[in-house]
């Protein structure tokens, strides 16, 4: 069995924990840019810096094929990128918790042996003190760098279901499940 882990590292969880209780002033994001390598960024301005959310292509072993796959990541940024053309959306809400939404995708052979175990971040849901949520979801198309940004309540219910992963395989038995890690 080959395991590929594209989930957040421990230090990223530590950083996200420091955001609990912080007030997010603005959501700053760029529309998808069709360049040689398209990308999408989003920043949450928390006063002392930015929570930067990206979904950028990386050459990755994705179930036995080396290909460009968009990898969702989160980081602390002291400033926005220089060439960032932004839309600004006022938030002015306090974070009460953050959900990291992971997916575990596996393929099995006819005997049921696991061939690949791929773990990735599907998205992030930021919960605020007024009951609203802000979500950032990586599209389920492996190479798509777009991030769907939504505001509302119960946003986990509008995330793509893990079973969409099944459409990519014909010769092996795929399985997928969701895992939500809550930071309070």
In this predicted model, what pLDDT tens digit does every residue of 70-122 receive, in sequence order? 899 999 998 776 666 677 889 999 999 999 999 988 888 778 888 888 899 99
Confidence at residue 108, expressed as pLDDT on a 0 to 100 scale: 80
Query: What would the pLDDT profile of 34-49 be if each residue is shown by its tens digit?
Result: 444 444 778 899 988 9
Cβ-based burial of 129 (10 A; exposed 0-12, middle 13-18, buried ≥19): exposed
Which tokens in the block code for residue 128? 């605020």
Cα–Cα distances (Å) from 47 to 3, 78, 104, 162, in that order, read 38, 10, 34, 35
- What's the full length of the chain, in residues? 184
pLDDT at 56: 86
pLDDT at 141: 77
Query: What's the pLDDT tens digit per position in 58-80?
Result: 888 877 778 888 899 999 998 77
Q: Rg of the chain's alpha carbons, rounded to an integer?
A: 17
What confidence score (pLDDT) does residue 130 get? 97
Q: Is the pLDDT of residue 21 over 70?
A: yes
Strands 2-6 and 114-128: parallel
Calpha distance 57→128 (Å, rounded): 30
Closest by CA to 114, choosing from 123, 125, 124, 106, is 106
Whole-angstrom Cα distance, residue 98 to residue 18?
A: 11
Question: In Å, how far from its chain's centre is CA 78?
Answer: 20
Question: What is the pTM (predicted TM-score) of this model?
Answer: 0.88
Beta partners for residue 152, in sequence order: 133
Angstrom distance (rounded) from CA 42 to CA 72: 11
d(CA 123, CA 99): 8
């Amino acid at each position: 069995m080959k395991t590929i882990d594209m989930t957040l590292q421990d230090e990223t969880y530590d950083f996200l924990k420091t955001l609990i209780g912080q007030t997010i002033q603005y959501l700053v994001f760029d529309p998808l840019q069709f360049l040689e390598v398209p990308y999408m960024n989003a920043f949450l301005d928390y006063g002392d810096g930015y929570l930067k959310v990206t979904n950028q292509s990386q050459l990755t072993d994705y179930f036995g094929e080396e290909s460009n796959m968009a990898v969702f990541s989160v980081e602390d940024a002291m400033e926005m990128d220089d060439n960032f053309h932004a839309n600004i959306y006022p938030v002015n809400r306090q974070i009460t918790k953050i959900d990291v939404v992971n997916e575990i995708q596996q393929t099995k052979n006819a005997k049921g042996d696991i061939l690949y175990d791929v773990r990735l971040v599907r998205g992030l849901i930021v919960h605020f003190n007024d009951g609203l949520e802000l979500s950032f979801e990586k599209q389920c198309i492996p190479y798509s760098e777009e991030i769907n940004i939504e505001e509302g309540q119960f946003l986990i219910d509008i995330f793509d279901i893990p079973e969409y992963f099944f459409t990519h395989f014909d010769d092996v038995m795929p399985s997928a499940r969701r895992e939500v890690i809550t930071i309070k």
